[in-house]
Structure 1
């Protein structure tokens, strides 16, 4: 059992990158209550004994192991921010970050709530069909209500398996850096691995880590974020850029609204360099953080007009993503 009682599901070192610059203070927006306030990074995205559980009467915890991978990922992220590029990150560093992102994907309160929701929906589905599952069968163990400790054990297994199960999906994407300004900062939610898909627009099943066209976003600081795109998207951008380069500028200028923007995106995807985001791109990024978050959104500034508007327009966003309303929330984010 770890000595640390308060355990963060978004690392403190990451939250500090979204601070106001005053003693680890940052702005917080509570989607549920609509309230915003300032507090220290140590006070948010955390719960008492969140990763502690009991097996056969013995106490266990993932907290120390998670702290170790955070300490390994932190200098790599600092290197990215210092270089303003992911191009120089060695293969070993990328692999470690992929493992970190995979773990972050499943270590949050939002994921734990989704796990509970999935089991509830399965149980309700079987009950609605009038089927009866005999006691002792594997299916019975899967659908029966769980204790808090059992939920912790199940999600602990998924956290431990995440680098193997999900890490390759992060690693095989095309990485680049997105950048903005302090006046239009990136936000980070309490469930920060955000997904978007503009290629496969089917209403269900298009936001998996491995599906075609997926774009994964992860905020690194208030002015920098990591984008990890499916190679199919990068290929489309490269083909568009090559076509434009082969055409006279006078011709393309009349039919392509942002010719230079396509070239800049192609360079970022090819070299891993930082791509300047326009305010509308920052808004889209932040809307994904709002939509994915379970309850809280964090920022270096106290302007939460975007999440306030999103929650007002779509009250379902007061809570985190659930299997039953994933399509609705994705539409809200877009």
Structure 2
């Protein structure tokens, strides 16, 4: 029924299963709550979700997300089970995964919180000025429904921009050979840049998406990396040749796994997930204030400059503390 309240997952259950433990016919995952500084086992039905998260009046966008999951889940599940990377060199598979990853990046609770913060800061700035009636109405519409609409629109045009950027990255599957596991979270597609700006199209960018505790998909800037941790400058046709083939990379260093897990944990909204309750390092980062509770987090740094030619305000936003959410 169209008006029935229901749980809607912004992190798919098929994905969470890869980090879970089966008990009878149910799947449970260890969950660390950043706000409560505590961990507990949770059924995957009850995490990475919110009631009517995508429902706006009589509109419901969940079916669209379910369709992209249907396309991507066989590829991700097969990779998780056998670790073979040949399927990632098939153009159709890479297209499906690029779409799925773009949408996963944009559909989360974290993205909604980002949008809410940036619209709220713009609204507060505009209220300092004499506004037209139209602008006053716009400022007043910064509410949950409005933010949902904006997120759906952001997904619509943002995903299309992201697909090509993701498709034409250097794809690498990281095989974790250490005794510690990859973690994931309620915001699982995360960006890291050791040398510059955080953005899908940025030079030197690393995009991490853990597949299971021992596998992680890594998308790299193809102009500067031949593999994970292997800097090599490419130009012209060399870039295209570099893009064509997915590589394997065996991680033997705990430091490398910790770095990837730290990026994942710092980008989580509220929950970090583990198959084996491996949260000692996460707990330490929370205690040191390096992972900040959601309600205390500054997601968007807001600066206003004056245009010297016409006197208009120029609004510049950025992400503090090396966190990233916008393209």
TM-score grouping bracket, smaller chain normalisation: 0.7 to 0.9
1:16 matches 2:34? no
Q: CA RMSD in A?
A: 2.8
Alpha-carbon distance between aligned partners in 2 of 1:290 and 1:237, rounded to the nearest angstrom: 20
Shift of 1:122: 1.6
Given the superposition, is the C-alpha separation of residues 145 and 270 from structure 1 closer, same or farther in structure 2, using an over 3 Å criterion?
A: same
- Specify which of 43, 46, 49 is matched with residue 46 of structure 2: 43
Q: Which runs of 5+ in 1 are unaligned?
A: 201-205, 243-266
Shift of 1:131: 2.4
Partner of 2:320: 327
Alpha-carbon distance between aligned partners in 1 of 2:231 and 2:200, rounded to the nearest angstrom: 25
Alpha-carbon distance between aligned partners in 2 of 1:268 and 1:168, rounded to the nearest angstrom: 12
- Specify which of 209, 217, 234 is matched with residue 225 of structure 2: 234
Q: Greater RCO between the two (CA within 8 Å, min separation 6)?
A: 1
Given the superposition, is the C-alpha separation of residues 177 and 277 from structure 1 closer, same or farther in structure 2, using an over 3 Å criterion?
A: farther
Shift of 1:76: 1.0
- Per the normalisation by structure 2, the TM-score is 0.81
Alpha-carbon distance between aligned partners in 2 of 1:170 and 1:311, rounded to the nearest angstrom: 31
- Indicate if the aligned counterparts of 2:226 and 2:232 stay in contact, CA closer than 8 A: no
Shift of 1:121: 1.7
User: Secondary structure of 2:87's match?
Assistant: coil
Given the superposition, is the C-alpha separation of residues 236 and 5 from structure 1 closer, same or farther in structure 2, using an over 3 Å criterion?
A: closer
- Specify which of 168, 171, 194 is matched with residue 172 of structure 1: 168
- Decide which structure has greater helix share: 1
User: Secondary structure of 1:273's match?
Assistant: strand
User: Secondary structure of 1:228's match?
Assistant: strand
Shift of 1:20: 2.9
User: Secondary structure of 1:29's match?
Assistant: strand
Partner of 1:211: 202
Alpha-carbon distance between aligned partners in 2 of 1:219 and 1:301, rounded to the nearest angstrom: 15
Given the superposition, is the C-alpha separation of residues 28 and 240 from structure 1 closer, same or farther in structure 2, using an over 3 Å criterion?
A: closer
Given the superposition, is the C-alpha separation of residues 141 and 236 from structure 1 closer, same or farther in structure 2, using an over 3 Å criterion?
A: farther
Given the superposition, is the C-alpha separation of residues 239 and 308 from structure 1 closer, same or farther in structure 2, using an over 3 Å criterion?
A: closer
- Decide which structure has greater strand share: 2
Given the superposition, is the C-alpha separation of residues 31 and 268 from structure 1 closer, same or farther in structure 2, using an over 3 Å criterion?
A: farther
Partner of 2:278: 303
Shift of 1:239: 8.3
Given the superposition, is the C-alpha separation of residues 305 and 329 from structure 1 closer, same or farther in structure 2, using an over 3 Å criterion?
A: farther
Residues 248-295 of structure 1, C-alpha deviations (whole Å, 9 max, x = no match): xxxxxxxxxxxxxxxxxxx99954224324211111111111110100
Mapping of 1:188-267 within 5 angstroms? 188-200=184-196, 206-234=197-225
Partner of 1:156: 152
User: Secondary structure of 2:273's match?
Assistant: strand
- Indicate if the aligned counterparts of 2:32 and 2:40 stay in contact, CA closer than 8 A: yes
Moved more, 84-93 or 207-216: 84-93
Residues 92-141 of structure 1, C-alpha deviations (whole Å, 9 max, x = no match): 110111000110111111100000001112223344xx42221214xx56
